[in-house]
Each structure stands twice: as structure tokens, then as C-alpha cells.
Structure 1
């Protein structure tokens, strides 16, 4: 099929390459000419394992190209995927729909034949029906330009795998024709046995934000219990392991730390609350306010624990921060807990030096007041405290014996509970970890 993917950020770039990998002819579209030029040359604009090879392979095969023209997109495609951002609107919890609305206003007037416009962005429930009415008013073919919703479930660091081999496929449509078109688009995925949930528009819109709300709740739950463990002198790690053995709960997302961040979970749960309020059912999602509060408190708790380790004063103290990305295998620093903690340490007077394997450039652009090191040893050298904030494998594999002599005072705070703290203690480090007793 001939498919367009409008918006070539993290979601759109990977989705475009994935659709081409399935054998479709794909045109990626973005208003940023620099990004389009780089992608056209096979140069990636994000760090994502496996993506450079996927991009280059499909460009070379002639199945994937890029453009800045929505008019060209309308002429090219039979199916148009919308993959632009829905950030939090300034001054409110609600999602800002201006980018999606801009796509519709730019694309719809050029739709001269029947087609399917498919949203992948996370949006407030009811958006699909609103856009369907707008497209019907603006497009020359009217209602023959249909709308469907196909939420994405990409995990940064595993986006290629999640695109090519998803754990489920959700399609929301308003007609049998639209459902058949999406079955055709995803025929290879469906033939491979991927569970396919075909539903209505509103349900499809709610699936993604409900999944994010559940994951956020699970993360904040274990961080709340971690606070109790800290106060009671208990150990969160065996407690979490015991919970994880319950098949009704499971072990995933039960590792306490500084909470969730990134471009999805924080703004999505806030937008979910805002939409519930608009629908008159705000009390149903009141618990998400506490989820959000616990998540923010987890970051503050890490800063407070760092201050305690430095004898209740951060002023002038040299701190090495390991990690800037919001999670490993990504260069994404949007709402990064690691950078939030690093900035808070800086604002309390500490001299902070940050290391990250991939996210230094993005971190420096977002937080220019911090110091940065391209080498782990340089980050640790002369430090009075090391704070581990992003669970990159390179940090878990770090030999504590080899770096103990670099620190001015060998102290480390494992704010992600990802290190072998006994190994670090045996190497001569004073170690603290979130929710774990002092030893």
C-alpha cells in the first residue's frame, strides 16, 4: 500500500521505517526541512537501537522517502498515519492538540480521493470523532476520508522490536471498510499471530492512556512503599521480590527509584485527569493525582538522601551524576528524573558533573548550567558523592574497585536500585540505595 507518516519524531520515524519493512511504499512527512534532509540521507535524528539499519535498508530498497509537503502526502497516500506530539498545554494538565489540528488543516483540503487518516498519537478520548467531522468539512471528498485510531505501544530502547513484533495490535474504526484497510496494512503482523483487538474509536483512544496510567500507578506504588521502608528500616528489594512472585502482580515495574519520566507517562496521566474532568467523572481518576505526587516526591527524596550522605550540606560539594536520559537505551531527556535530580542538586549549591553514554548533547541543551563529562572516569574524578540515576548497562558493569581511587570520598547513592551494592561496599564505597537500610 502507499502510506504516509506525518510527523517524523521518535514515534513517526520508527513507524515509517517499520511500515516500509512490511513492504509498503512509505512517505515520511515533517515541517522541519533539516530533519527531512537528514532522514532522506539515512541519518538518524534519534538514538534507538536497530533504527539506523532499519532506516537505511528501506531507503536503499526504494520503499521509504521523505518530504515536507502535506499536498504531496495527500496525492501519494491511501493511508495517512498521524504521529505528531501531544504535549502538555502550558498552564493546565490538558493535552495540547495544536500539532494534530495543524496536520488536519494542512492535509484535509488536499484529499481528493477516498483514504483513511489514522491517528497514532496519544490523545484525549473523543478526538477521533472531532477530527472526522473536521476532515469531512475540509476535504473535497468529505466523509470518504475516514478516520481510525491505532495507538502505539512503543518502549524507547525497544521501538524497532515493538514496531515489527508488537505484543498487541489495537485498531479503532467507525466502519467495516476502515477495519479491512488496517487489516491489510498490518497483514504481516496479524499473520504472525499478534493479538488483534478491533474496537470502536473511543475505546482505542482510551487503551494507550489507560495502559500508561496503570504502569505509572505501579511505579509510584513501589516508590511509596520504598518511602515506608526507608522510615521503618526495612528493605524494599526483597519486599518487591516477594510481591513479584504473586502472579496477579508480577515483577515488572516493581524496582523502586526516582520514578518515571520521558515524553509519555507524566503528561499522559495529567491529560487523562483533565479529560475525565471534562467528561464529569474526575473522581474516577483522583488516584492519579497521588500517583503524580509520589512520582515527584521520589525525585525530591533522592536529593534529600544525597544531602544526608553529604552531612546535610550540598554547598560546594562535588557530585558525579551517572545518567541523564530518562531511561537507558535512549537519548531522550524529556522530563528526565535524572536531570531533575541533577538540576536540584546544582540549585542547592553542589558542583554537579553529569555523564551519559548517549544523551549528553540533549542534556546540555536542556540544562546548560550543569557540567558534563564524556568519560565516566572524568565524571567521578574528585567527587565526594556519585549518584546513579539512569540504569545504563555500562554503570551496572562498572568495576567499583577500578574507580574507588578516583573519588575524593568514595560514596555512592544508587537511586535506581540497579547496582550490586554489596560489591560496591566490599570495594570500599559507602553505599546508600532508595528504600534500603543503612549498613
Structure 2
């Protein structure tokens, strides 16, 4: 049912993906951003970030005339039947809480222009209670009165798989208002918008606002806990001279536990998991239930300790000091198939080692431009061999396929010393040791 006209407010990672993919389903879509440079780039078919497969989707739908971009809220209000809010909710400086200024600005700009029946759909990750507050604001500001209805529809995108996750989601969750008529209408509209996905079997879960808001942060809290659990076991394994990769493999065969997100290594980063679990803790404190989430403080602490341990391992291999030594770093993005360096463990480790006196050269297949902006004092190479040249130790910090598959002999020919620390447990240690490398990894003897 492609007769609804959709708008997407905010064309960052989430918004640009949602706009292009909904157009690919046959909808007419208008994307809005206050950043004119971003709008110009998107309108020219140029994606401002790296996401596999998305640029082709963007260009295909621009060419078909189903997708356009604008900086005008007047145009958006006139055009759209369903308005998706996809703006960022970053962590506030110097505190755990989420910064909701972009969400508030979007609603504040859109609502006074809504003069006919429409659905406003929040997709941004927000603290529980935000939707109810915004629904009140929408009701006060929109000339359409009760005909401008708010729903909440959290996103569950994995960077590197965003097109697949948008077009074929593992679940669709919507939070609807308390008023039964408004709730029924919001559900009907979103069932029509997502009809192709439910036809494929994606579960469609209808909840109230606070439950819908809690789904995304609860999922992220659980994933962060699972990652930090295996990394806590890695700390124990190092002390006990056990192998955390074998431990993880054995645990993964228990179907109550499963193997996904049970990969030991340098821990999580990125623009979502760290800031979302911190905002969740902050909101729990405001609600008077901070003890319920106190375990997330330890989850966060375990995750940050992995970075410290990585630096320590590299320093141990160099005899206790980085001063005057050369370090090659493979990886800058927080995960493979992304150019996102927000809260990247790889870049954090590289910067820390440089601050302790080493010459550090970094290479990443996609994230070099973002890394240079975030850490201009580091050196950057154009290839794996560039980064490793004359290095006394090489660190694998983001598990890109090209690093997992690299030839230990080719790398060995350019380094000063054959020391490697595998921060993601991504390499075959026997192969590397057979090639003469001193191989170390987090959580392994």
C-alpha cells in the first residue's frame, strides 16, 4: 500500500537509510535536514557515510523520482502523510543522560505546520517517557488539533546490515497513544506502511509508548551485557591461563546462551551501545529505580578495561615502554563494514599508545577520513602494509575481512619485529606462530 507519502526528518545514518529504503518499497519519500551540505550531497546521490549497498538504493530511487531531499519544513508538512523523526540523541557532554535537543527542535519546527490529519512517528532512541511528553507538545502546537497523532517506532539497525534490517526487520514495534481511536488509526497506518514486511513474516508488536521506548534500550543493554560477560571471562582466563575462545565456543552450543555477541575481544563502541546504556542508567535514576540497572555500570567498566588491557599487552611485548617504538594499528572503525569511529575502541587504543610515546600508524578500509578528523595527531597509511611498515608491534583492532585473511609472511617482510596482538581473536594463531610471529590475544595464553 504505497499511497501514503512519507517524510523523514533527520538524514544522518538512520534517516538516510530509512528514506532510501522506504522509497525502494515504492513510497514517495521526502527527506529533510537542516544541514544544507548534507542535503546537497544526498540529492546528488552521494552518501555522507559508508554503509554497504545503501548508495545503490539511494541512487536508484533518486533516479526513479520517488526520493527527494529538502531543508524546508513547510514543504515537508505540505507533502507528508506520515512523518518519521530520525534525528540523533547523543550523550550530553560530561553526563550520562541523552541530549534530546534535536528531537525537541524537530517536533517544535514540524508541529506548528501540521494543518491536516497525519501521523508523526518517532524512530530516534529516547529515554522512556519522552514520547508521552512529545505527544502533549504535538497536541498543543499542531493546528490540526487531535488529527496530528504521535506513534513511537524504534529502529533496530545494525551498522553494516542496515539495508537488510530496514527492508526485512526481525520485528516491528510500535507504541501508540492511550486514546483508543487514535491508537487504532496509528496502528492501521503503520500496518499499511510496513505491509510488505509483515507479509514476509516480520512480527508486528503493538504496545504503549513507554514499552516501545524501552525495547531498543533493553535490547542494547542485553547485548552490551553479553559482550561484557565474555570479556569478563577473558580477564579470568588470562589469570587462570585458560583460552577464552574455546570457552566461548563451548558456551555457544548451549541454546539457552547461543554464540552471537559472545566473541571475546576489545569490546563494543560506536554511536549507539555505549551512549544508550549510559542514558538508560541516567533515566533509571530519574525514575528512582537506579539500583535495577546498577549492573550496567560494571558492564560499561568491563568494556572500558579491555582497551586498557590491550595497551598493556602491546607494551609488554615491547619490553615495558612505547617510547621510541613504532606501532602499526589495523582498524579505526568501531566495527567492520562501517566508517563510524564514534567511541571506537580501536581509535581510543591507538591514541592512548601514541600519548605514551610511540609512533602510531593506522589503516582502515573505510574509516580513514573520519579517523583523521577525530584523531589528527595519529599517522595514517593507505594499506595494511603501510600501517605495519617498520612496526615493532602490529595491533589488529577492527576485524575487517582483509585483516582476518592477511598473509603473515607478507606482513612479516615489512615489520621491524614480528609481534602481533589480535584484539578481536580473529586470526589463526597456529598459522601466525608457524610464520615466526609472537602472537598474543586478549583472554588467551
CA distance in 1, matches of 2:169, 2:404: 28
- SS of match in other structure, 2:150: strand
Q: Does 1:118 align with 2:126?
A: no
Q: Does 1:42 align with 2:45?
A: yes
CA deviation vs aligned residue, 1:272-308 (integer Å, no higher than 9, x gap) = 0011111111100000000000011111110011111
- Which residue of the other structure, out of 96, 107, 111, is the alignment partner of 1:108? 111
CA deviation vs aligned residue, 1:178-230 (integer Å, no higher than 9, x gap) = 01010011011111111111111111100000000000000001001101101
- Matched with 1:188 is 196
Q: Does 1:334 align with 2:342?
A: yes
CA deviation vs aligned residue, 1:151-185 (integer Å, no higher than 9, x gap) = 10100000001011111111111211101010011
Q: Shift of residue 91 of structure 1?
A: 2.0
CA distance in 1, matches of 2:28, 2:324: 57
- Matched with 1:319 is 327
Q: Shift of residue 422 of structure 1?
A: 1.0
Q: Shift of residue 114 of structure 1?
A: 1.2
- Counting only pairs closer than 5 Å after superposition, residues 141-220 of structure 1 correspond to structure 2 as 141-174=144-177, 175-220=183-228
CA distance in 1, matches of 2:170, 2:324: 49
- Which residue of the other structure, out of 6, 9, 22, is the alignment partner of 2:12? 9
Q: Does 1:57 align with 2:57?
A: no
CA distance in 2, matches of 1:129, 1:144: 16
CA distance in 1, matches of 2:425, 2:269: 17
Q: Does 1:29 align with 2:57?
A: no
Q: Does 1:427 align with 2:435?
A: yes
Q: Shift of residue 82 of structure 1?
A: 0.4
- Matched with 1:389 is 397
CA distance in 2, matches of 1:127, 1:23: 31
CA deviation vs aligned residue, 1:130-169 (integer Å, no higher than 9, x gap) = 0010111111112221110111010000000101111111
Q: Does 1:402 align with 2:402?
A: no
Alignment length (residue pairs): 437
CA distance in 2, matches of 1:115, 1:45: 30
CA distance in 2, matches of 1:189, 1:312: 55
CA distance in 2, matches of 1:292, 1:161: 29
CA distance in 1, matches of 2:416, 2:93: 43
RMSD: 0.7
Q: Does 1:127 align with 2:135?
A: no
CA distance in 2, matches of 1:7, 1:146: 19
CA distance in 2, matches of 1:114, 1:89: 34
Q: Shift of residue 346 of structure 1?
A: 0.6
Moved over 3 A (4+): none
CA distance in 2, matches of 1:393, 1:130: 45
CA distance in 1, matches of 2:323, 2:212: 50
Q: Does 1:70 align with 2:54?
A: no
CA distance in 1, matches of 2:347, 2:94: 22
- Which residue of the other structure, out of 234, 252, 255, is the alignment partner of 1:247? 255
TM-score (normalizing by structure 2): 0.97
CA deviation vs aligned residue, 1:311-337 (integer Å, no higher than 9, x gap) = 111111100000000000000000000
CA distance in 1, matches of 2:98, 2:79: 30
TM-score (normalizing by structure 1): 0.99
